[in-house]
Amino acid sequence: MDRTELEEGARRILLTNLRRGVADWNGKEYSFVCPSLTGYPFQWFWDSCFHAIALIHLDHDQAKAELRTLMSGALPNGFIPHITFWEMEKQPDFLSRNIVGMTDPHYSSTMQPPIIAYAVERVYQATGSEEFRESALPILIGFYRWLRQARDPDNDGLIAVIQPEEAGTDCSPKYDEALGLEELTNRGFITALRKVYAAYEPIRADDHAMLAMDLFHFEDVLVNSIYVFGMRSLARLLGDAPEAAEFTREADRTRDALLAKCWDEEAGAFFDLSGVAENPVKMVTISSLMPLILSDLPRPIVERLVDQWVTSPDHFWTPYPLPSVPASDPKFMPGNPGGFIWRGPSWINTNWFLSHGLRGHGYAELADTIVAKSQECIEKSGFREYYHPYTAEGLGASNFGWSTLILDM
């Protein structure tokens, strides 16, 4: 599959999944790509950021429209929802199969990994639109300040998620203990998650209260790496504005907290922190590698992550890397056991992050191999949600939007 064929395939997916109209409930115009017409018919936060980045290579106007629609959902306190239900007529069917935390019926009350400033930066760089940049800045400033104020109650620089979906790695085995997971199936995961939802219900609007419950309080390495990544983009977008120094300082503070609190020298990996007590969750997953996206990660740590984990056939270097859980882990599930996701398959979005990160650290050949293997997954199985790390079999949703990130790898 050459570049033209790849672009044609991506364009077909993105146009097929494109939703346009005016929302009945707020009168706002929307124009966004849903992740999948069947399983994910609404606007998801980090999916839309990925779609905008892919659209840079195909349609600049739609790339801007994607992010404008996402940012139009920002609330007065700065929060931008994980899911926005622009087409409410589809919501009953979706909610009959999924659980979503809400304080308003039109959007979720949860967040997702905060990559939006990077997506805005990339679209701005591609289009040169000052109007787009200037209109985005107040929304981005509000959102990243909301993250700091609402999700870092101990003010250590690390933000916390209140439930697994906020980290984007829903059923990852690293959450099993925190959830008290008794049955290692998607059904068991949903059962455990419902208990969290029920406990939060009376206080859904109070992030600090939910974190203080210490029911699911996770300082996630993937989320915080992307938080640093996003704040650095925001500082660059701000240029000479006085707020630029604020976000540079905060990005440095979060990076330093990742190094001081999450890096385990003995294991040679980054570990998430669970609970108010910040207990290290000593399980290596794809999240443990995500600080590689940070350009100023110390070189000895970069080399350790690459040599010990990324390139090891025992861990992440499967025939179609990089799996979401290393092959060496007893909980590694390379297939798709009933939708019990993020426990083994390889994903294009994490490969996109890590191929860029590795290239930035001087591992161009390694990054090229990850890109080639990712493209081979698409050639074999189409644009799927995720892939079997040994066979490249496509799994999960078909015609999945963020796998078009292959255009940007």
Domain presence at residue 70: no
**DSSP secondary structure string, 106-171?**
TB-S------HHHHHHHHHHHH--HHHHHHHHHHHHHHHHHHHHHH-TT-SS---BSSGGGGT-TT
pLDDT the model gives residue 339: 84
Are 66 and 134 in contact, with CB atoms under 8 Å apart? no
Domain presence at residue 104: no
pLDDT the model gives residue 386: 97
Rounded to an integer, the average pLDDT of 188-211 is 95
pLDDT digits (tens, 9 = 90+) for 296-320: 999 999 999 999 999 999 999 999 9
Q: Is the pLDDT of residue 289 over 90?
A: yes
Of 314, 315, 302, 270, residue with least CA distance to 288:
270
pLDDT the model gives residue 97: 86
Domain count, the chain: 1
Q: Is the pLDDT of residue 334 over 80?
A: yes
pLDDT the model gives residue 258: 98
274: which DSSP letter? E
pLDDT the model gives residue 246: 98
Q: What is the CATH number of the domain that holds 144?
A: 1.50.10.10
Min mean pLDDT across 168-172, 250-254, 333-337, 358-362 is at 333-337
For helices 130-151 and 243-257, what crossing angle results, to 10°?
Answer: 50
Q: Is the pLDDT of residue 175 over 90?
A: yes
Domain presence at residue 129: yes
Distance CA 276, CA 369 (A): 40
User: Which residues pair with residue 274 across a beta bridge?
Assistant: 218, 279
Domain presence at residue 43: no
Q: How do beta strands 18-22 and 394-395 pair?
A: unpaired
pLDDT the model gives residue 217: 97
**DSSP secondary structure string, 15-55?**
HHTEEEEE-TTT--EEEEE-SBTTTB-SEEHHHHHHHHHHH
Residue 315's domain spans which residues? 117-408
Q: What is the pTM of this model?
A: 0.98
The tokens of 166 are what? Answer: 């906020």
pLDDT above 90: percentage of residues in the chain = 96
pLDDT the model gives residue 96: 87
How does residue 206 score in pLDDT terms, banded at 50, 70 and 90? very high
Domain presence at residue 348: yes
Distance CA 218, CA 335 (A): 26
pLDDT the model gives residue 259: 98
pLDDT the model gives residue 384: 97
Mean pLDDT score across all residues of the chain? 97
User: Which residues pair with residue 44 across a beta bridge?
Assistant: 83
Are 345 and 394 in contact, with CB atoms under 8 Å apart? no
pLDDT the model gives residue 158: 98
pLDDT the model gives residue 336: 74
Q: Is the pLDDT of residue 47 over 80?
A: yes
Rounded to an integer, the average pLDDT of 215-230 is 98
Domain presence at residue 323: yes
Rounded to an integer, the average pLDDT of 240-258 is 98
Of 115, 119, 117, residue with least CA distance to 82:
115
Domain presence at residue 177: yes
Domain presence at residue 299: yes
CA–chain centroid gap for 105, Å, is 23
